[in-house]
Amino acid sequence: MIEEKFDAIVVGAGMSGNAAALTMAKRGMKVLQLERGEYAGSKNVQGAILYADMLEKLIPDFRDDAPLERHLVEQRFWIMDDRSHFGVHYRSEDFNEERPNRYTIIRAQFDKWFSSKVREAGATVLCETTVTELARDANGKVIGVHTDRSDGEIQADVVVLAEGVNGLLGTRARLRERPKPDKVALAVKEMHFLPRETIEAHFNLKGDEGVVVEAAGTISRGMTGMGFIYANKECISIGIGCIVADFQRTGETPYGLLDCFKRHPSVAPLIEGSEVKEYSAHLIPEGGYKAIPQLYGDGWVVVGDAAQLNNAIHREGSNLAMTSGRIAAEAIVQVKSRCQPMTAANLSVYKKMLDDSFVIKDLKKHKDMPMLMHTNSQNFFLTYPQLVSKAMQNYVRVDGTPKAEKEKVTMKSFVNARSWTGLFGDAFRLARAWR
Amino acid sequence: MNVETSVRVEDKLFYNRYLVDVGRPHVKVRAHTKPSPQLLALLKVCPARCYELNDKGQVEVTVDGCIECGTCRVIGEPTGDIEWSYPRGGYGVLFKFG
Ligand SMILES: Cc1cc2nc3c(=O)[nH]c(=O)nc-3n(C[C@H](O)[C@H](O)[C@H](O)COP(=O)(O)OP(=O)(O)OC[C@H]3O[C@@H](n4cnc5c(N)ncnc54)[C@H](O)[C@@H]3O)c2cc1C
Ligand code: SF4
């Protein structure tokens, strides 16, 4: 049992926990961070795109020594049916800038580096330690934690719950609900290794330039979901994720989907000849704004995925995690510097600051999207991709049919599949949810 | 098109590193005679295929290959079908890349 008392205990050494621990330690607080993995990152899975701006706010010179893979110069969006893809590619030389905006990373390596910065700032980091329970006083105020290393409790003025999407502590202590099957996606992912010249040739890259592909369509078999392919220096991250309730309903298997995605004629050439070195899976919070739980209470705050702060529409999560971790820490530092107790009333400043940030503003903007995608998954992920593919093929194939006739056939196929009211309804709902 | 049968999850798990906490499984299935629909769903949805049917038609779990995604918890805990914890600190799956 650790006898000393801490200013703050941070549970978890992922993106949000590291941001919180670093921010507090830098401001002279006595911080203990607990992580169940052998090292920070050993339990974590991500695509992974790193957004520089949010990390810069924590570690301005991170580019000097962070394990970065490639800076992104190109983004591809694909709509797929079983044999084809229709794509939008955005590539710009502007992204070859002095301080690039987005990078690919390998999470286990990145988290290890991030954790070393937390230690350097003076926090005590204990790995291989699972927190089993929150400690509370007679009034229910959180006063510390219990771990699987000792019988006693470790005390602190405030506990930062940075335990990720499957956070057990917060749900066991009834501070928030367990994620529901329709509010989380399950993603499976593989790491495919290839010589770097091969990767650069497959993706049309030079040097450390990188590209990411986001794909949707029949690959998810009518379930709400997406596939992704990210180019790293010497490997490719490839994965696919769908809403858990959809898996439950359809009985599709996650590895079955991934294998189908890998064998798709548009994908197979990209990973041809590769050696697989890891297979992983992880949940992603998909509930958006409406799923955000109570964010603070007496002696505790919750940050990152544990608080469902994840923008599934834009495929952003780690940056929201880092930002919420930093803001929670700044709020705690504020309360402490005023010598006030860590009560719910005083910690409410965290929510106010978060509401003013892009984190809540972005999630609020898309608050209706998760529901729309979910209730219309057959249309958005099966019917439309097939129709788009047919329309494109009809458009580009030259066979002597007059153009007007071709367009009529295309239009008819859309109306037959969805009816005019269906089409207008979907377009209207999509526009409204996006607004 | 039935693609699932061609995929061997066991081969995929072979790439991963694990430190198995022998004799202390972190996921348990509640004793039952006839499995609930939720339990049956786990046979398919678990990405590591940890859930299997035994000869008596009951669902069993072997956590050695578990990748700790939490999917079975989200489905099976509300109905009381399973008990889910994290493995002891340091044990379980160990991602090198993640
Ligand atoms: C397949 C996939 C692709 C993604 N792609 C992207 C992307 O490209 N870009 C992006 O920005 N985001 C992406 N995300 C989302 C991003 O990974 C998350 O939003 C982010 O990791 C959340 O950070 P976090 O700190 O809240 O949680 P996590 O990073 O999950 O960290 C939680 C930590 O807490 C530890 N922990 C949990 N419980 C305990 C306990 N009881 N005791 C001790 N330790 C504990 C865990 O071991 C873990 O280290 C992706 C997610 C997935 C799954
Ligand atoms: S946590 Fe994930 S991998 Fe482990 S048994 Fe449950 S569903 Fe399978």
Q: Tell me the residue ranges of DSSP E strands in B1-98.
A: 17-19, 27-29, 51-53, 59-61, 82-84, 92-94
Question: For position A375, what pLDDT does the model report?
Answer: 74
Q: For residues A231 and A190, is the Cβ–Cβ distance under 8 A? A: no
* Crossing angle (nearest 10°) for helices A107-120 and A15-26: 20
Rounded to the nearest angstrom, the gap between the alpha carbon of residue A298 and the centroid of all alpha carbons in its chain is: 28
Question: For position A435, what pLDDT does the model report?
Answer: 66
Determine the distance in angstroms separating the CA of A107 from the nearest CA of chain B, rounded to an integer: 5
Nearest ligand, CA A18: 1
The protein residue with its alpha carbon nearest to ligand 1, atom 52, reads: A46
Question: For position B27, what pLDDT does the model report?
Answer: 98
For residue B76, the chain A residues in CB contact (below 8 A) are: none
Distance (Å, whole) CA A378 – CA A59: 43
Q: For residues B61 and B25, is the Cβ–Cβ distance under 8 A? A: yes
Q: Is A177 on the interface with B (CB under 8 A)?
A: no
Distance (Å, whole) CA A433 – CA A364: 10
The residues near A51 (Cβ < 8 Å, ≥ 6 apart) are: A101, A102, A316, A318, A319
Question: For position A236, what pLDDT does the model report?
Answer: 98
Q: For residues A194 and A274, is the Cβ–Cβ distance under 8 A? A: yes
CB-CB under 8 Å, A255 with B13: no
The residues near A144 (Cβ < 8 Å, ≥ 6 apart) are: A9, A134, A135, A153, A154, A155, A156, A159
Token output for A33: 């961070």
Task: Give the residue carrying structure tokens 């696919």.
Answer: A240
Rounded to the nearest angstrom, the gap between the alpha carbon of residue A128 and the centroid of all alpha carbons in its chain is: 24
Q: For residues A134 and A300, is the Cβ–Cβ distance under 8 A? A: yes
Token output for A406: 């071709």
pLDDT at B6 over 70: no
CB-CB under 8 Å, A42 with B86: no
Nearest ligand, CA A34: 1
The residues near A13 (Cβ < 8 Å, ≥ 6 apart) are: A21, A33, A35, A37, A40, A41, A111, A114, A115, A118, A125, A127, A162
The pTM (predicted TM-score) of the whole model is 0.93
Of B7, B86, B90, the CB nearest to A168: B86
Token output for B63: 């956590």
- How many helices (H) and strands (E) would you count in chain B? 3, 6
**In the structure, what pLDDT confidence band is assigned to residue B1 with cuts at 50, 70 and 90?**
very low
Half-sphere exposure of A263 (CA within 13 A, CB side): 11
pLDDT top residue among A416 and B87:
B87
CB-CB under 8 Å, B90 with A38: yes
**In the structure, what pLDDT confidence band is assigned to residue B2 with cuts at 50, 70 and 90?**
very low
Helix, strand, coil percentages for chain A (3-state, nearest 5) = 40, 25, 30
Q: Is A180 on the interface with B (CB under 8 A)?
A: yes
Distance A7 CA to ligand 1 centre (A): 24
Of B41, B77, B78, the CB nearest to A248: B41
Token output for A103: 């990078």
Q: B7, B74, B91, B96: best mutation site toward chain A, by most A Cβ within 10 Å?
A: B74
| Nearest partner of A71 among A45, A44, A51, judged by Cα | A51
In tens, the pLDDT along B24-46 reads 999 999 999 999 999 999 999 99
Q: A278, A286, A305, A318: best mutation site toward chain B, by most B Cβ within 10 Å?
A: A278
State ipTM: 0.94
| Ligand 1 pocket member A69 (CB < 6 A) | no
Distance (Å, whole) CA A83 – CA A262: 12
CB-CB under 8 Å, A248 with B15: no
Q: What is the DSSP string of A177-233?
A: PPPPGGGEEEEEEEEEE--HHHHHHHHT--TTEEEEEEEEEGGGTTSSEEEEEEE-S
From first to last of its 435 residues, chain A has per-residue pLDDT tens of 567 899 999 999 999 999 999 999 999 999 999 999 999 999 999 999 999 999 999 999 999 999 999 999 999 999 999 999 988 899 999 999 999 999 999 999 999 999 999 999 999 999 999 999 999 999 999 999 999 998 889 999 999 999 999 999 999 999 999 999 999 999 999 999 999 999 999 999 999 999 999 999 999 999 999 999 999 999 999 999 999 999 999 999 999 999 999 999 999 999 999 999 999 999 999 999 999 999 999 999 999 999 999 998 888 999 999 999 999 999 999 999 999 999 999 999 999 999 999 999 999 998 887 777 777 777 778 888 888 778 888 888 888 888 888 888 888 888 888 777 777 777 777 777 766
- Tell me which amino acid residue B59 is: V
Mean pLDDT of chain B, nearest integer: 93
Question: For position A1, what pLDDT does the model report?
Answer: 55
Distance B39 CA to ligand 1 centre (A): 26
**DSSP 8-state class, residue A134:** E
Of B4, B15, B69, the CB nearest to A278: B15
Distance (Å, whole) CA A158 – CA A69: 36
Question: For position B3, what pLDDT does the model report?
Answer: 47
Q: Please give the backbone phi and psi of residue A105, each rounded to the nearest 5 degrees, phi first.
A: -140, 170
Binding pocket residue ranges, ligand 2, CB within 6 Å: B 27, 46-48, 50, 66-72
Determine the distance in angstroms separating the CA of A318 from the nearest CA of chain B, rounded to an integer: 14
Task: Give the residue carrying structure tokens 């049917």.
Answer: B53
Parallel, antiparallel, or unpaired: how do β-strands A153-161 and A6-11 relate?
A: parallel
